[in-house]
A and B are shown apart, each in its own frame.
Chain A
Amino acid sequence: MTTLLNLFLLALAKSTPLLLASFGGLLSELSGVINFAIEGMMLVGAFGAIWTAWATGSPWLGLLGGGFGGLAIGFLHAVVSLKLKANQIVSSIALNLLAAGITGTLLNQVFNVYGTSPAVPKLPGIGEAFSGVLGLPARPSSSVGEGLSILVPIALAACIVLWVLLHRSRYGLHLRACGENPGGAEAAGLAVWRVRLSALLAGGFLAGIGGAYLAIGELSQFVEQMTQGRGYLAVAAVILGRWRPAGVMAAALLFGFSEAFSEWLGIQWVQVPSQFFLALPYLLCLLVLLLGLGKRQHPSALGRL
């Protein structure tokens, strides 16, 4: 029974960065901008979090720093894709390259190391956070309370909030209108550039926090290329979820679960090489895409200026 519970919690933990990152991607795609740069946003978010936490000593400020790192990449994507009218996919890939380059270079310049940063204060677990807030003495670490970072429930809550925002608020309607028909949105009085920019900034911030989780939520250090393709999994989650918040959430949870499951399987089946389990989430994703239904309903003006 505890194994199932542990597996479930592990799945939640693995889903957290994906939830945040995929909702970040959802925001930009709903506004009509193709966003494959989530990988770069997460990576810069991870490094930003580490750097800020190291410099200030506070993991919470680190979280913010991570968010702003992702936001910066979002800003660049907006400028290059919308103002300079670049091919949005090429721009995304370039930004991912940039993120890899900047994080690697800064890692070297700031910490004078290659590959892995020194440890920094990390975000508290749920148990720690609550006992800290309530002023209670720290509870003896149980396998449940300690393992789960505070960011997990935060991420889940953020998804719910965004769900409401996208379908009930004025901003959400404007966002979706820009992604359906930017010309029509302009004619109806919206400032399409501003809406899309805000979507990319907010999306970048979210993805940055997703990356920050990897650095100061799970571990407490930065490793080069630590995102390992999760940004692309996030994009796949948006596509699988048919650009609807509920669907995206389900898809992100599915991927998180497959990651957790693969890890768990890896422990169970030691005979099978570990690389198989590392590749398994992606195989699963491809399988789901393969079985996916024919007609995808992407935002009607996705990629159009």
Chain B
Amino acid sequence: MIPKPLRSMKFTSNAMQTELTGKPVVEMRNVSKRFGSLRANREVSLAVMGGEIHALVGENGAGKSTLMKILYGHFPPDSGTIRLNGEPVRFRHPREALKAGIGMVHQQLLIFPQLTALENVIVGSEPMHRGLIDRRRALEKVAEIAARFGFNLPMYTNAGQLSFAFRQQIELLRALYRGSKVLILDEPTSLLAPFEVDRFLDLLTALRRTGHTIILISHRLREVFAAADRVSVLRRGKLIRTEPIAGISREEVADLIVHGESRSAVDPQSRVAVAEVSVPSDRTESPKDLLVLDNLTADPSGNDIGLESFSLRIAAGEIVGLGGVVGNGLSTLARAIFGMAAIRSGTVCFDGRDFTALSIRDRIDAGIRRLPSNPMEEALLPECSLVDNFLLGSQRSPAFQRYGLLRKQAAAVYAARQLEIQKVRYEKVSRPVSSLSGGNQQKVALARVLAGPVRFVVLEQPGRGLDLKARVELGRRTRALNRAGVAFLVISHDSEELLTLCDRVGIVYRGRLAGITPIGEASPELLARWMLGVRNGEHD
């Protein structure tokens, strides 16, 4: 069963519906919110019409999530008004928003891992019978809604054991079960495989048909343009523009997101599509294998399954991309290469040496680096100073210690120099990393991870953990390093990202390599097929 390619635009019926209702269901006027000195929302005025799918786009930190959290009652705005169906409202708690008919599916899914799926859905609104929960009635009600929209959620499994797609069904079902008519969806497709995205977009259409109003926060313009009626662009806390989808192009929206205005001139440096980090393929082909994984079997690591007889070869100067659905072993693979996963059998060879049993330190010294998907939590020490963060990993090198004592001054000088090179805005090197902006923190993580002699880098979910500026920087450094012969392994659940970046693309399915092929022969359909387990062996 081959899934259909992503939908093309079909807007005539949408446009009609918007005209029919005409009245804004949700109206936010001059909403402002600041956190300390950060102005997350600056007098944003947004109107969402009844029955439409309204997309909110913008970079990380543009204020989209904050705005919707205000709407959902997580916190009140500093100023501004909110009207629901014309009536002014002021939600002090999500409870009140839920009662008013607003439901939200969060980016960080809010599920209860050790409660069953059914319990997850009914929390907060349980049917009662003689003082205890009426489980039968709960199942009936939830199953009925699930059937109506084509959900196939297993009701009695613990939520923690379900895949991401199922967990999302839980959150959606919860909102629908509570009778929400306005649904706020925060980055719903970021971890979905392409065929799952298709189903999701179908679902959105079905929801709109049944009279729901949907606010869709997404940074994936392809999907926004496939599903939404209107789009609003947020940048640095301000609402730049609201337009019907039919009246604007993807490139224009991308420009608005990045620059705040449309650039008519085609300027290759500035015209960066949101999800792209372009790498020109002008390296010299080097046939020498740098990294060889031979029948590697590894234990589950992180929240992922293990690897089964995994084999892969990466040559120097190559950029290989591996994708797959969440929970199929990608995370374990990255950790196994780096030395953070328990290996049962098989070998990891780098530059001819067997690294299977060696430590992380050895790998770093040999030039293997890993940029994790969440740099703040996995590569930095947030509470520590900038100096300490740059010192991390190099604390024993002769540059920073002599006769067993740390040379703090030398470290401070080094840190200051690195920050200059990275163009990071900071106050003092002794201040904690957490005092920097999100984008700058990522730059620091990048700088630290790529310091010293680098020969091979594992990039985990670069599109997800980094915002646009950091991604552009990453792209620049990747290109520079690649020209010098550094090989890259890009691991991402976003196949589009892989198709734009890599020389070869493959898919990991259930801990094995489902298939790998040069970029010229790869297509979203092929990748989707592999993600579903239809194996094809290696194409070389």
Give residues in A with beta carbon < 8 Å to B: 164, 168-170, 173-174, 176-177, 180-181, 183-191, 297, 299-300
Contacts and interface: CB of A to CB of B under 8 A. Distances in A.
B523 to A, nearest CB: 38
Contacts of A297: 114
B141 interface: no
A189 B93 contact: yes
A187 B126 CA distance: 15
8 contacts: A184-B111, A186-B93, A187-B110, A188-B174, A189-B93, A189-B98, A190-B123, A191-B95
Contact of B110 (A176, A181, A191, A299): A181
Interface stretch (B49-57, B127-135, B355-363, B418-426): B127-135
Smallest CB-CB A-B distances: 7 pairs: A184-B110, A189-B95, A180-B112, A188-B124, A189-B124, A168-B132, A300-B113
Contacts of B112: 176-177, 180-181, 184-185, 300
Contacts of A164: 132
B132 A187 contact: no
A185 B123 contact: yes
Interface in B166-189: 174
Contacts of B95: 189-191
Interface of B: 72, 74, 93-95, 98-99, 104, 106, 108, 110-115, 119, 122-126, 128, 131-133, 160, 174
B133 A188 contact: no
A79 to B, nearest CB: 21
A181 B113 contact: yes
A189 B132 contact: no
Residue picked from B72, B122, B124, B132, most chain A C-beta under 10 Å: B124
A183 B110 contact: yes
A239 to B, nearest CB: 15
Contacts of B98: 188-189
B2 to A, nearest CB: 36
Given A174-B124, A181-B113, A186-B74, 6 more contacts: A170-B133, A180-B112, A185-B124, A189-B124, A299-B114, A300-B112
Contacts of A170: 126, 128, 132-133
A189 B132 CA distance: 19
A173 B94 CA distance: 18
Contacts of B128: 170
Residue picked from A169, A183, A188, most chain B C-beta under 10 Å: A188
A170 B128 CA distance: 8
Given A185-B123, A186-B94, A169 B131 contact: yes
A297 B113 CA distance: 10
Contact of A180 (B106, B115, B124): B115
A187 B115 contact: no
Given A185-B123, A187-B72, A189-B93, A180 B114 contact: yes
Contacts of A186: 74, 93-94
Contacts of B99: 189
Contact of A173 (B72, B133, B174): B133
B115 A177 contact: yes
A169 B133 contact: yes
B447 to A, nearest CB: 31
Contact of B124 (A169, A183, A190, A299): A190
Contacts of A174: 123-124
A175 B123 CA distance: 10
A212 to B, nearest CB: 28
Given A170-B126, A188-B94, A188-B123, A176 B115 contact: yes
Nearest to B121: A188
A297 B158 CA distance: 12
B119 A173 contact: yes
Given A184-B110, A188-B174, A189-B94, A173 B160 contact: no
Nearest to A180: B112
Contacts of B93: 186, 189, 191
Nearest to B69: A187
B72 A168 contact: no
A87 to B, nearest CB: 15
A234 to B, nearest CB: 22
A31 to B, nearest CB: 12
Given A184-B110, A188-B123, A300 B74 contact: no
A38 to B, nearest CB: 22
Contacts of A189: 93-95, 98-99, 124-125
A181 B108 CA distance: 11
B126 A300 contact: no
A249 B113 CA distance: 23
A184 B167 CA distance: 13
Nearest to A183: B110
Nearest to A184: B110
A174 B122 CA distance: 10
A206 B106 CA distance: 37
A187 B128 CA distance: 21
A191 B73 CA distance: 13
B123 A173 contact: yes
A226 B126 CA distance: 43
A173 B114 contact: no
Contact of B113 (A173, A180, A187, A188): A180
A191 B96 CA distance: 12
A186 B114 CA distance: 17
Contacts of B113: 180-181, 300
B94 A187 contact: yes
Contacts of B119: 173, 177
A35 B491 CA distance: 41
Nearest to A243: B114
Nearest to A174: B123
A187 B119 CA distance: 15
Contact of B160 (A185, A188, A190, A300): A300
Residue picked from B104, B111, B112, most chain A C-beta under 10 Å: B112
A285 B221 CA distance: 58
Nearest to B132: A168
Contacts of A183: 108, 110
A164 B95 CA distance: 27
A173 B133 CA distance: 9
A188 B102 CA distance: 11
A201 B99 CA distance: 29
